[in-house]
Amino acid sequence: MKLFQRRHFLARMAAGTTAGILLAVAGCGGGSQPAGQQSDKQEVEFWTMQLQPKFTDYFDQLIADFETANPDVDVVWVDVPWSDMQSKILTAVSAGTAPDVVNLNPDFASQLASRNAWLSLDDKLSPEEQAVYLPKIWQATTLNGDSFGFPWYLTTRVTLFNADLLEQAGLSEPPTTYAELAVAAKQIKEKTGKYAFFISFVPEDAADVMQSFIQMGVPLVDDAGNAAFNTPEGKAVFQYWTDLYQQDLLPREVLTQGHRRAIELYQSGETAMLSSGAESLDNIANNAPDIAAATRTAPQITGETGKKNVAAMNLVVPRSTDAPDAAVKFALYVTNNDNQLSFAQAANVLPSTAAAATSSLAEPAPDATPIEVARAVSASQLDDAEVLIPALEDVKKLQKIVYDNLQAAMLGDKTVDQAVADAADEWDNR
């Protein structure tokens, strides 16, 4: 794409132009630039998700350093609001106006990978370059044996808990397993009148419930992509969540509201625990200082497998890029050991390269801040952490099918057995 066209497109996006106009702009033919405006430099257009203004200085410096080392490349950074990214990248990919490097999560990236939207990295990176990244995280950016993304920053969930509420309930420590969680939820409700936690069953929201299947030893699909949860073990997971809801040990809003509600309830003192990233402590401290003062950090709750979830961000290069080599070089630069470590420290997240991750595993100092302690707990889980939901075409459709049928069981509209059977049948015959 010509430089003028690309920047014209970005300007319209920044102004919130509708998809129809975007498509119209993309469809316009572009002639040559006027004499004197030609440039021998390659432009790399880089999209991130909601990292401004907090990290503006960081990326300005990172881009400046890259351009100094690569004087033939200009990087144009565009930060897109979190809620807008999926629609904007879908529009851009469809219109042929996609950026050269874009920041996405593996779940959504894999959906477009199934449509051949991203450049295959197996042809661009040597095995040695691939081996720089944590193996489990690299695997999360692979679909049907084809690598499509550069792993970037990570978070492993931790359990933030209100020590005062747990003490009122007669608990000295938070639960560590789902079995312990069910017992603690009953005790907390009986002793304090509060709920233990909030987890969303809204199909369009977080995949925490889906991940609980994996943690409890239930695969979602088999090697052929068919439903693998219509088993006694899968029915037990359906039964677990159904029982908690029907025993009034989960807030009623779990059926209608997302993870944002979990944060609100924790900050208001209505729940005893919050499954989140270490970085959430900053917001809690700002919004609810009394709750923050009572908050402590424990490892992520898991099942008998011991598996812990990691949320990963990656960088992908659209197949339509007209600067593939420069785009790959820039993505490698952003995600190299030094830059991953520096960004992880600035953002209170974790890096995805093996060397940088090792540097993040140090024990917190005796005078460490609560967020430093939480980050250390998060880092300590990396050996057991993985992206639990496999890169899978139609993964959001699977989540909707499972959640819709699970909700039906929770509301008593279906038996657990029927809900599981219906979910499996719906997925296999989609």
Digit-coded pLDDT (tens) for 217-246? 999 999 899 999 999 999 999 999 999 999
Residues of the chain by 3-state class (helix, strand, coil), percent to 5 = 50, 15, 35
Residue 39: predicted pLDDT: 60
User: In the 8-state DSSP scheme, what is residue 348?
Assistant: T
Q: How many degrees, rounded to 5, is the angle at CA 202 between CA 197 and CA 206?
A: 70
Cα(229)–Cα(39) distance, integer angstroms: 56
Query: Structure tokens of 39?
Result: 């440039």
Q: Of 67, 49, 132, whose CA–CA distance to 355 is shortest?
A: 132
Give the span between the Cα atoms of 278 and 156, in whole angstroms: 8
Cis peptide before 390 (omega within 30 of 0): no
Max intra-chain CA distance, the chain: 77
C-alpha span between 296 and 160 (Å, rounded):
6
CA separation for the pair 142, 106 (Å, rounded): 9
Q: What domains are there in the chain, each with its CATH number?
A: 3-156+310-385 (3.40.190.10), 158-309+386-428 (3.40.190.10)
**pLDDT, tens digit (0-9, with 9 covering 90-100), for 379-418:** 888 877 888 987 777 888 999 999 999 999 999 999 999 9
Backbone dihedral angles phi then psi of residue 405, each to the nearest 5 degrees: -75, -35
pLDDT at 114: 83
What is the reported pLDDT for 38? 53
Place of tokens 């987890």: 199
d(CA 181, CA 301): 8
**Smallest Cα–Cα separation from 281: which of 213, 348, 233, 352?**
348
| Global pTM value | 0.78
